[in-house]
Amino acid sequence: MNENNLPVRAEQMRARLRAYPLMIGVQVLVALMLVVLVWDVVAHQVLLVWLGVLFVELAAEFFYASREVVKLDSLDECRLWRRRLLVSVSLAGLIWGAGGILLFVPDNFTYQVILICVYLGVSAGAATTNPVFAPSLYIYISLLILPLAFINALVGDHDHFMLAGLLVVYWAFLLKSGRELAKIFELSLHRAIENEYLIEQLVAEKHRAERANEMKSRFLAAASHDLRQPMHALAMLVGALKEYVQGEQGRALQEKVEHSVEVLGGMLDTLLDVARLDAGVITPNYERFAMQPLLKRLRDEYKLFADKQGLRLEVSSFDGMVCTDPMLLEIVLR
């Protein structure tokens, strides 16, 4: 565990801690049912001592995990809780492993099969929850199944040797399956954390772009008067040139310059008006008016541009009324 894999390891342990209530509740229920099943064939003192030790360990485990808020934000805290989890899993596994030996009935094959079935179920349940924190799976499954396989092998006959072998095979299969589940879970955590990081980056870039756009809009809105003054002065100078221009070529050139200045001025006005609108410094003045005059004015203005490009501009007749700011609507349409 290091700073590089801290987010993944921390989330693995959080998932393991979230599963505590369910895992402890299931173990309590299974242990009680198992004791009831073998009550008539195992010494009561052995059953009560084993059950009491298991309950004390589970209660301590639950109390210790629930009495404080586990944040796992730092490397030291993650390492501390990793050690705690490994200790608690080892204790629980040792108690269950001891139960496999203490609750084993040597001369009753039926109860032996029942005990094996219970332990197979407990180990299968552990294999589905412990892969979120792989070390706990390896420790718990090994301490749970191997003692039971060992006590079966000690009986020494053919059937029990086969049962011991099957338990070992089952143990190996659970470890292999749990390892694959752990890899899948860890990979999903890596991708989830990467996605969260990318989302945070995108949100930060979005906010940065919005702030830059807002600053640009406010600057243009505040400087609109200063930016328009040179254009107005240029338009006046171009108009004053008419008196000094002679000849048809000179007048044609002067008209082109005047037209270009008008177009440039219109584009600047539109840009500044849109900037003021984006900056929120324009208050819409709503009124009802007919759309047709505005459409006609736009058609007459843009028809020349369309004709020069070899295009045909058509504007449908519209006799309806609208309720909005006529100036802002014209800016948008332009």
Q: How far apart are CA 34 and CA 72, in angstroms?
A: 36
The CA distances from residue 304 to 226, 308, 309, 330, in Å, are 31, 6, 9, 18
Q: What is the mean pLDDT of residues 253-265?
A: 72
Give the dihedral sign, CA 162/167/171/177: positive
Q: Label residue 51 by pLDDT band (50, 70, 90).
A: very high
Residue recorded with tokens 């979120």? 132
For residue range 20-46, list pLDDT tens digits in order. 777 788 888 999 999 998 888 889 999
Please name which of 30, 21, 39 lies closest in space to residue 123, comparing C-alpha atoms.
Answer: 30
Mean pLDDT of 180-188: 73
What does the block give as tokens for 327?
Answer: 């100036």
pTM of structure: 0.55
Mention every residue, 6+ apart, whose C-beta is less than 8 A from residue 313: 299, 302, 303, 306
Q: Is 86 exposed, middle or buried (0-12, 13-18, 19+ CB in 10 A)?
A: middle
Q: Which residue, 309, 149, 41, 162, is CA-closest to 141?
A: 149
Question: Considering only 38-42, 186-190, 225-229, 318-322, which range has the smallest mean pLDDT?
Answer: 225-229
Domain boundaries of the chain, sorted by first residue? 6-202, 283-334
